[in-house]
């Protein structure tokens, strides 16, 4: 983040954006010469460093750009007070001498005071002069500098510009592809309030308590601090309302990974980090088992009324999803509050509770259909979890299969895709398949991914036979086209059911032929 | 039952009832109310005979206060007026008229958790010492690295603003020292985000050039008492004289000044730019980011002003003046820190700027009080509130055109000491724009004070 006087922006028709530094040769050259200034001036006074930087500025660059970069480089530097002599103590001696001898208005009076102090401290008069203000900022000496590449400096600068513009924001709306736990934790820590909504994408709007009463920039600084957490994700988009300082006009500021990622510095390395050893250990051991359940860390948040819940993991199999939440330190009150929250959402949730970390003796917890608890001590036990998963999977599947069977539905479409149909009625495709295999609707044939009406099936059979008898042989590509023309996607199953097999003449699929098995 | 509690600088209300003050907050499913309206909401519930549970205040324990503050007659009168209007209001008194004592008396009468908000860290120390001396308790402090809430706590405006979310429900009484600061767009949120039903604003300079002081009645209360320097000078404040000495720039300085100013003026003329107001000037500054020539013009103007303000001719004159007043306690005021340090090095006298370490600052002021140091040179640090009891001579070497700054600098010299006659001397470079700045700052002194 930069001092606000160094913020350079453009505005047009209610849209505002920072004047990002492109990765042009010119800009990279400025960045690299500034970095060199810091590298080559170790041991020099800050005032000297600033003079050299002023010279670069004089060459005709936007002074805000040059000073902005220099500001960022200052933060990578350590300026130290020359500690050979205690400047404050030295000044005290001088002032006292002046108090005693009287304020010097002539050079010889002044020299007398300096010499008195020098004599008293047993140092040279020149040393008195030189070190009396050694602790002033401009007198500090550049002791350490942590270098970076010119490109990194420009990326830092661009991120800082965006953050500085956000100082003037009244609210921000964003989405991101991951790291939700970290993001919501940061929102909370910064004292902001969120409002989440879903329009295909999960969006979060953030402002603060007092934003309700009027537009306020009060939360701008906090919003700016949130930005690095968001842009650390692979994909993200941020839209802020900026209350511009000079005009008091509301402007839109947009920044998104697809357009700006290349300009910005990733704040930290993007490895999936675990909150705790327990979590990491669980994930590693679970994945090693190859259970058929896909484990995902930090799945997309779940809306629970006014709240957002970000479970630690989700486990997915055949369209079924079960969330897993690991509870570390807890009190009964905390657990009950958590359950209250979880009850509001219509998803399966497995809560793993660490008994070692319990703050109170465990009371009987209320049973709830979609909530299950497994207790553990040191290590999360896999056996009961897998048992639970399989049982729940069977339960849900049986229920869904039963549900599909009971559906008073009469199919009329030529082709019914299981997945589409399953999504429509809210069950898994597997359940649909199982139910239909068990009770095939009249007039349809069951394929592995879809139902095909008998007359369509016959139509396909007829066409293929015709083509073979006309041409003597039929290439696979032609057969596929014929089958697809009838609206059937499950080509291979259909051909197989019709009694054909594929004969390959070489590796080229153009040369594959279908023949009666 | 209605329940009311504090949430990060606002109040939340749960219950089957709205109030004239709240607003429905769909984000949390509750009514939300500005903390400023805490008192109003409670009286609304009481008048409407609605039972409620008030979980808002989070107060520290009370301590027993000594009450040894003796007020002068005009101070009594000011306090009385404030008490008559529900203990919410602003008192306007000149610097050195003892505003602090009125506030301390109010604290000892209210005997409640109190926050005193001041503009600078030096003033925190000063108020804490006063609380200690006159109320007999240790005051807490928030700001400048400290975070210690006591029954009476002193904080800077900055910290009070930044920490409104956590401090807003911890005090029932707030004293706003130099209350004109409160009307700024940021700081006004302090008034809005703290619940304190009792509020007292103190200032010598009520009006703001941006007119935002019209907000103060809503935020703190009406102006209930006003007294000017003229009313109190002599009896309660030291009598003072004002003198202005013009100096010629040295020939070299004058030629640099003229050259630089003509760069600036030529540019304005060429581009037909007229700078009449602060807003015009801001707009001009904005163009300097893009337009290199505009920036060069601005830099030329700044160099010219620097020459005028830091003129060697002025320093020689200052030397003569300091010679004349060598036995009096003297303050030298400048606009820029560079000049502070140049003067400090030349005359070997203590400098006070924002860069002076806190401990050293304290030590310098203490030695000045004791008389071990007789001259201090400072930029803006001493402008506000800090007590330098028996300083009697002030030199203004350079300043902005602001009336407020002038009144405050004058105020440093007016604390009543028997037999003292204060003298404020402005040293102004002739034939520069500084003459106009000096005229502007004196223009409204009597109204301003």
Do the Cβ atoms of B428 and B434 come closer than 8 Å?
A: yes
Closest residue in B to A137 (Cα) is B355
Chain-chain contact of B9 with A110 (C-beta, under 8 angstroms): no
Across B353-359, average pLDDT: 85
pLDDT tens track for B52-107: 999 999 999 999 998 888 899 999 999 999 999 999 999 999 877 889 999 999 99
Across B116-141, average pLDDT: 92
Chain length of chain B: 449
Between CA B196 and CA B193 the distance in angstroms is: 9
Radius of gyration of chain B (CA): 25
Q: What is the pLDDT of residue B431?
A: 64
Distance from CA of B12 to the nearest CA of A (A): 10
What is A167-263's CATH number?
A: 3.30.70
Chain-chain contact of A195 with B26 (C-beta, under 8 angstroms): yes
Tell me: pLDDT of B27 over 70: yes
Indicate the CATH number of B240-248+311-448 among 3.30.390.50, 3.30.200.20, 1.10.3720.10, 3.40.50.300. 3.40.50.300
Do the Cβ atoms of A298 and A289 come closer than 8 Å?
A: no
Taking contacts as CB-CB distances below 8 angstroms, the residues of chain A near B295 are: 63
Taking contacts as CB-CB distances below 8 angstroms, the residues of chain B near A133 are: 341, 345
State which H helix or E strand residue B69 sits in: none
Tell me: pLDDT of A171 over 70: yes
Taking contacts as CB-CB distances below 8 angstroms, the residues of chain A near B186 are: 218
Q: What is the pLDDT of residue A139?
A: 86
Domain B2-55 class, CATH top level? alpha beta
A294-297 vs A313-317, strand pairing mode = antiparallel
pLDDT tens track for B187-197: 999 999 999 99
Smallest Cβ–Cβ distance between A62 and the set B27, B28, B289 belongs to B289
Q: Which fold has domain B73-227?
A: Rossmann fold (3.40.50)
For chain A, percent of residues with pLDDT exceeding 70: 94
Q: Is B123 exposed, middle or buried (0-12, 13-18, 19+ CB in 10 A)?
A: buried
Q: What is the pLDDT of residue B432?
A: 66
Do the Cβ atoms of B385 and B123 come closer than 8 Å?
A: yes
Task: Supply the mean pLDDT for chain B.
Answer: 86
Q: Taking the domains of chain B in order of start, what are their residue ranges? A: 2-55, 73-227, 240-248+311-448, 251-309
DSSP state of B354: T
Helix (H, G, I), strand (E, B) or coil at B444: coil
Closest residue in A to B194 (Cα) is A210
The reported pTM is: 0.74
Between CA A297 and CA A278 the distance in angstroms is: 13
**B173 band by pLDDT with thresholds 50, 70 and 90:** very high
Tell me: pLDDT of B447 over 50: no
Other beta carbons within 10 Å of B242: 15
Chain length of chain A: 517
Between CA B106 and CA B83 the distance in angstroms is: 9
Q: Which two tokens stand for residue B112?
A: 């409640």
Taking contacts as CB-CB distances below 8 angstroms, the residues of chain B near A191 are: 8, 165
Q: What is the pLDDT of residue A450?
A: 86
Note the ipTM here.
0.76
Q: Which fold has domain A277-393?
A: Trna Endonuclease; Chain: A, domain 1 (3.40.1350)
Between CA B308 and CA B257 the distance in angstroms is: 7
Tell me: pLDDT of B154 over 90: yes
Other beta carbons within 10 Å of B207: 17
Do the Cβ atoms of A181 and A188 come closer than 8 Å?
A: no
Tell me: pLDDT of B448 over 60: no
Other beta carbons within 10 Å of A66: 21
Between CA B224 and CA B44 the distance in angstroms is: 25
Chain-chain contact of A194 with B27 (C-beta, under 8 angstroms): yes
**B381 band by pLDDT with thresholds 50, 70 and 90:** low
A320-327 vs A302-304, strand pairing mode = unpaired
Tell me: pLDDT of A225 over 90: yes
Q: Which residues contact A227 (CB under 8 A, 6 or more apart)?
A: A159, A162, A163, A166, A238
Tell me: pLDDT of A173 over 90: yes
State which H helix or E strand residue A341 sits in: helix A332-343
Q: Which of B10, B27, B328 to mutate to test the interface with A (most CBs of A within 10 A)?
A: B27
Of the candidates B414, B348, B407, the one whose C-alpha atom is nearest the C-alpha of residue B376 is: B348
Taking contacts as CB-CB distances below 8 angstroms, the residues of chain A near B289 are: 8, 62-64
Q: What is the pLDDT of residue A152?
A: 93
pLDDT tens track for B229-256: 777 766 677 777 888 888 888 888 888 9
Do the Cβ atoms of A103 and B377 come closer than 8 Å?
A: no
Across A438-460, average pLDDT: 84
Q: Which of B9, B21, B289 to mutate to test the interface with A (most CBs of A within 10 A)?
A: B289
**A270 band by pLDDT with thresholds 50, 70 and 90:** very low
Across A381-406, average pLDDT: 87
Strands (E), B35-184: 52-55, 88-92, 114-118, 140-143, 146-148, 152-156, 173-177
Between CA B250 and CA B310 the distance in angstroms is: 11
pLDDT tens track for A322-381: 888 887 766 677 777 777 777 777 778 888 887 776 656 555 555 566 778 888 887 888
* Residue A103 dihedral angles phi and psi, to the nearest 5°: -65, 130
Q: What is the pLDDT of residue A239?
A: 96
Q: Which long-range contacts (CB under 8 A, 24 or more apart) does A479-484 make?
A: A479/A514
Between CA A50 and CA A72 the distance in angstroms is: 13
Between CA B397 and CA B374 the distance in angstroms is: 18
Q: Does B297 touch chain A (CB under 8 A)?
A: no
Between CA A166 and CA A255 the distance in angstroms is: 11
Of the candidates A165, A219, A223, A174, the one whose C-alpha atom is nearest the C-alpha of residue A15 is: A165
Q: What is the pLDDT of residue B55?
A: 94
Q: What is the pLDDT of residue B402?
A: 66
* Residue B415 dihedral angles phi and psi, to the nearest 5°: -55, 135
pLDDT tens track for B205-223: 888 888 899 999 999 999 9
Hey, do B2-55 and B73-227 end up sharing a CATH topology, with the first three levels equal?
no
pLDDT tens track for A235-244: 899 999 999 8
How far is CA A2 from each of CA A52, A74, A226, A371, rounded to the nearest angstrom?
21, 11, 15, 48
């Amino acid at each position: 983040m930069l001092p606000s006087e160094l913020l350079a922006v453009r505005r047009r028709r209610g849209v505002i954006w920072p004047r990002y530094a492109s990765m042009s040769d010119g800009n990279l050259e400025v960045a690299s010469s500034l970095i060199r200034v810091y590298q080559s001036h170790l041991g020099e006074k800050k005032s000297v460093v600033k003079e050299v930087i002023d010279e670069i500025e004089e060459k005709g660059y936007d002074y805000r750009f040059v000073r902005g970069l220099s500001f960022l480089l200052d933060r990578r530097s350590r300026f130290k007070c020359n500690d050979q002599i205690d400047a404050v103590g030295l000044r005290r001696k001088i002032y006292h001498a002046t108090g005693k001898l009287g304020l010097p208005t002539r050079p010889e009076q002044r020299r007398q005071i300096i010499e008195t102090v020098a004599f008293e401290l047993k140092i040279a008069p020149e040393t008195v002069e030189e070190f009396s203000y050694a602790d002033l900022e401009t007198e500090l000496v550049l002791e350490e500098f942590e270098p970076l590449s010119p490109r990194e400096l420009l990326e830092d600068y661009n991120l800082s510009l965006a953050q500085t513009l956000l100082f003037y924001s009244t609210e921000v709306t964003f989405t991101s592809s991951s790291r939700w736990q970290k993001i919501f934790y940061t929102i909370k820590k910064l004292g902001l309030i969120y409002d989440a909504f879903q329009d295909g994408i999960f969006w979060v709007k953030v402002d603060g308590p007092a934003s309700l009463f009027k537009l306020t920039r009060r939360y701008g600084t906090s919003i700016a601090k949130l930005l690095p957490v968001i842009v650390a994700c692979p994909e993200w988009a941020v839209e802020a309302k900026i209350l511009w300082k000079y005009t008091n006009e509301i402007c839109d500021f947009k920044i998104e990974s697809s357009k700006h990622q290349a300009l910005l510095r990733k704040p930290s390395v993007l490895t999936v980090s675990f909150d705790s050893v327990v979590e990491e250990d669980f994930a590693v051991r679970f994945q090693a088992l190859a259970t058929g359940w896909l484990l995902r860390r930090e799945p997309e948040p779940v809306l629970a009324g006014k709240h957002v819940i970000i479970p630690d993991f989700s486990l997915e199999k055949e369209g079924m999803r079960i969330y897993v939440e690991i509870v570390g330190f807890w009190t009964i009150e905390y657990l009950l509050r958590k359950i209250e929250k979880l009850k509001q959402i219509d998803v399966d949730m497995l809560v793993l509770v660490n008994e070692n970390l319990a703050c109170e003796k465990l009371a009987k917890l209320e049973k709830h259909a979609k909530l299950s608890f497994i207790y553990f001590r040191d290590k999360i036990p896999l056996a009961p979890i897998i048992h639970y998963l399989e049982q729940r999977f069977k339960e849900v599947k049986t229920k869904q299969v039963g549900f599909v069977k009971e559906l008073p539905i009469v199919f009329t479409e030529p082709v019914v895709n299981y997945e589409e149909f399953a999504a429509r009625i809210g069950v898994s495709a597997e359940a649909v398949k199982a139910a239909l295999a068990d009770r095939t609707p009249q007039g349809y044939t069951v394929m592995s991914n879809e139902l095909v009406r008998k007359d369509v099936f016959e139509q396909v059979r007829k066409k293929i036979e015709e083509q073979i008898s006309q041409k003597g042989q039929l290439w696979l590509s032609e057969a596929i086209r014929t089958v697809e023309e009838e609206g059937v996607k499950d080509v291979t199953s259909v051909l197989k059911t019709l009694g054909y097999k594929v004969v390959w003449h070489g590796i080229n699929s153009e040369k594959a032929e279908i023949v009666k098995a | 039952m209605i329940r009311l509690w504090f949430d990060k600088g606002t109040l939340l209300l749960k219950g089957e009832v709205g109030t004239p003050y709240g607003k429905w907050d769909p984000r949390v499913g509750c009514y939300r109310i500005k903390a400023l309206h805490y008192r109003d909401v409670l009286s609304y519930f009481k008048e409407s005979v609605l039972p409620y549970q008030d979980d808002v205040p989070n107060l520290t324990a009370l301590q027993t206060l000594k009450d040894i503050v003796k007020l002068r007659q005009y101070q009594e009168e000011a306090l009385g007026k404030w008490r008559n209007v529900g203990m919410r209001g602003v008192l306007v008194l000149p610097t050195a008229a003892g505003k602090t004592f009125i506030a301390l008396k109010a604290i000892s009468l209210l005997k409640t958790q109190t926050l005193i908000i001041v503009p600078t860290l030096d003033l925190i120390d000063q108020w804490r010492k006063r609380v200690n001396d006159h109320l007999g308790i240790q005051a807490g402090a928030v700001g400048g690295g400290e975070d210690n809430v006591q029954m009476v706590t002193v904080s800077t405006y900055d910290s009070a603003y930044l920490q409104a979310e956590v401090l807003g429900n911890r005090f029932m009484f707030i004293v706003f020292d130099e209350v004109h600061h409160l009307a700024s767009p940021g700081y006004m949120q302090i008034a809005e985000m703290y619940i304190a039903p009792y509020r007292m604003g103190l200032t010598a300079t009520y009006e703001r050039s941006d007119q935002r002081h019209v907000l103060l009645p809503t935020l703190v209360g009406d102006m209930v008492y006003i007294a000017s320097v003229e009313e109190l000078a002599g009896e309660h404040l030291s009598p003072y004289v004002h003198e202005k000495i013009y100096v010629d720039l040295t020939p070299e300085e004058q030629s640099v000044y003229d050259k630089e100013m003509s760069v600036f003026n030529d540019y304005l003329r060429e581009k037909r730019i007229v700078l009449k107001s602060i807003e015009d000037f801001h707009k001009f500054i904005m163009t300097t980011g893009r337009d290199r020539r505009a920036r060069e013009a601005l830099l030329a103007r700044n160099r010219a002003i620097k020459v005028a303000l830091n003129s060697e001719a002025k320093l020689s004159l200052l030397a003569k003046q300091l010679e004349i007043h060598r036995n009096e306690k003297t303050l030298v005021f400048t606009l820029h820190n560079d000049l502070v340090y140049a003067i400090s090095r030349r005359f070997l006298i203590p400098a006070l700027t924002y860069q002076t370490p806190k401990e050293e600052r304290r030590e310098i002021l203490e030695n000045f009080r004791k008389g071990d140091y007789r001259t201090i040179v400072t930029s803006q640090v001493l402008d506000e509130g800090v007590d330098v009891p028996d300083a009697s001579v002030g030199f203004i070497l350079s300043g902005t055109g602001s009336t407020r700054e002038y009144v405050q600098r004058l105020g440093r010299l007016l604390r009543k000491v028997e037999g003292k006659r204060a003298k404020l001397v402005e040293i102004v470079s002739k034939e520069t724009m500084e003459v106009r700045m000096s005229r502007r700052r004196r223009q409204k002194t009597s109204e301003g004070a």
